[in-house]
Structure 1
Amino acid sequence: MNTPTAYTERRPFRSDMLLLRGLHHHVLHWGDASMQTPERPLLVMLHGWMDVGASFQFVVDALPSDRHVVAMDWRGFGLSDWTASDAYWFPDYLGDLDALLDSVSPDRPVDLLGHSMGGNVVMSYAGVRPERIRRLVNLEGFGLPDTLPEEAPKRLRQWLDELKQPQQLKPYASLDEVAQRLMKTNPRLSPAKAAWLAPHWSEQRDGAFHILGDPAHKRTNPVLYRKAEAQACWQAIQAPTLWVEGAHTQLSQWWGNRYPREDFEARLALVPQLQRARLEDAAHMLHHDQPEALAAVLEDFLR
């Protein structure tokens, strides 16, 4: 494959490294604190599983340029540190987000956006720290199917077995191959955007390009997902909340029949001040598929 002309940023980001809870986190800035006002506070964007903060470049470019935007690579992803242990725990993401806001917006509420895994984190966080959020945006953070206590022995046994096995992510021979991998995962991603994302999503070492993610993320999570706990957090959200999904996203692609749409709708109905938006010709990576349409929805909601 011949590398296409890569996407050109309208607003290039500035990189920073913040020490949060003992780990260095890569933080991306579009604009600076001088742009913040009570009506247009800091907008914080948080990516999903096996993604990076730079993933939001396309939608940031489509937003008005008068807003300070921050994105962070979660621990174990992008250029942020990996944990010293061999596992990742959901509460740590909440702790890292809390520490991030202490650093970048200690005295003002923020507008908070999360995609997928990041969407799940921000929904829980907004219920725990409602005073820190002015507006909340969830891009397809569906949560997970509920689990039963009797699943614990099997889940823990599987985790213990996997701890004894080294985890690996597939290396790629070139950035072209990384871009092809991105487009295979998301057929709606254009070659130009894939070419731009590839060097932000991988790094070259030992003669190959490696995805910027800790392989330990592949291990089974030994902690059961408890729907009732998530619902309690969602119910406690005080900020006006926007739910955005792609018209072509199907819950069954991840969970089969274990997570019926009716279950999710019942959870979403618990959010007190909820607005909804649906983007046509978009699936789960809607911020890649339709960044201009998403930016228009966001600007209308955040204004």
Structure 2
Amino acid sequence: MYPAQRPSRSESVRIRTLDYHVRLWGEARPGTAPLVLVHGWMDVGASYQFVVDAFSAAFAAGRQIIAPDWRGFGLSTPPSPCDHYVFADYLADLDQLLDHYAGEQPVDLVGHSMGGNVAMFYAGVRPARIRRLVNLEGFGLPATRPAQAPGRYAQWMDEIRQFERGEMALKDYDSAEGVAQRLMKTNPRLPADKAAWLARHWARQGSDGRWAILGNAAHKIVSAQLYRVDEAQALYEAITAPVLSVEASDDSLGRWWKDKYSLADYHQRLSHVRDCRTAVVQDAGHMLHHDQPQAVAGLIETFLSA
């Protein structure tokens, strides 16, 4: 199994109505911006371990690194049953997490996928709280039209019924090795030792001996609200921090959406960010922080140290 070079410690922090699980590396240093790493959909804060291990000794020793499990993922479990999640809640959760760990001090923020989308929106809502921002494949979603709203609300209500009937349940596994095999099937670049390590953070063994994914199936329910590009661009325009947008060479965006949404569309949206540059990680897919952690760590470290 992968040997973590910089073991983390865990804390539980009361955020709104939840006990948020937060993974920490290093200690807070006065005058040094904390580094906050936020994960993507159906992932956990531990997913950043390989990147943290790849940071240089000087960089890692110089700041506290903070990686929460978003609500309904990992060990951040809602206190009562939940049948859907609202994107805006991630912004409010992050706001109060920064209150706890950084106070008035601006932070360096890194987000992957869904976490990258949260980071970009949050930096537009609270620009003074972000010193620098790294967005790892947080592309947003295809443009929508108001005429799609009736169908979207109907889809949302129908999927809540499907969830209540158990039709959206996540698959469980007979062993941690089974979870690791699932991770490698989804991402063929993931080495077996890293998959075995991730499996024990991405899933947990229950009293029945089965290994269950640490993610609420209600996350699979579509958002009731349409994704509005005009709102996203307004939030991008409000960002004052320098932004580094990092893409993987595989073009996962094109594979997901085909002719509905392209990298060219995404780059056009990025033109609304006043201080933005882009980088591409070669030989990597969407989970680029697993595929090429040294390259991702190097980009983050260079950008934040500029």
- Unaligned 5+ residue runs, structure 1? 1-5
Partner AA of 1:224 in structure 2: L
Residue 56, structure 1, aligned to residue 48, structure 2: yes
Which residue matches 2:39?
47
Contact 2:172 / 2:213 at 8 angstroms: preserved in 1? yes
- Work out which of the residue numbers 148, 157, 160 in structure 2 matches 1:160: 157
CA distance in 1, matches of 2:262, 2:4: 39
- Work out which of the residue numbers 264, 267, 270 in structure 2 matches 1:268: 270
CA distance in 1, matches of 2:45, 2:262: 30
Which residue matches 1:189?
190
For 1:154, what is the secondary structure of its paired residue? helix
Contact 1:43 / 1:112 at 8 angstroms: preserved in 2? yes
Identity %: 56
CA-based RMSD: 1.1
CA distance in 1, matches of 2:292, 2:24: 22
For 1:152, what is the secondary structure of its paired residue? helix
CA distance in 1, matches of 2:242, 2:270: 13
Partner AA of 1:128 in structure 2: V
For 1:276, what is the secondary structure of its paired residue? strand
- Unaligned 5+ residue runs, structure 2? none
Residue 77, structure 1, aligned to residue 69, structure 2: no
Which residue matches 2:201?
200
Which residue matches 2:84?
87
CA distance in 2, matches of 1:107, 1:268: 27
Which residue matches 2:126?
129
CA distance in 2, matches of 1:256, 1:210: 32
- Work out which of the residue numbers 81, 94, 101 in structure 1 matches 2:98: 101
Q: Can you list the C-alpha shifts for 1:53-112, whole angstroms capped at 9, x where unaligned?
A: 000000001113213100000001000013643110110000000010000001211000
Report the Cα offset of residue 207 of structure 1. 2.0
Partner AA of 2:45 in structure 1: G
Aligned ranges 1:285-296 → 2 under 5 Å: 285-296=287-298
Partner AA of 2:41 in structure 1: W
Report the Cα offset of residue 260 of structure 1. 2.6
CA distance in 1, matches of 2:182, 2:159: 26
Aligned pairs, number: 295
CA distance in 1, matches of 2:203, 2:82: 22
TM-score (norm 1): 0.95
TM-score (norm 2): 0.94
CA distance in 1, matches of 2:302, 2:97: 26
Contact 1:77 / 1:212 at 8 angstroms: preserved in 2? yes
- Work out which of the residue numbers 1, 4, 7 in structure 1 matches 2:2: 7
CA distance in 1, matches of 2:82, 2:24: 29
Contact 2:82 / 2:218 at 8 angstroms: preserved in 1? no
Contact 1:156 / 1:222 at 8 angstroms: preserved in 2? yes
For 1:176, what is the secondary structure of its paired residue? helix
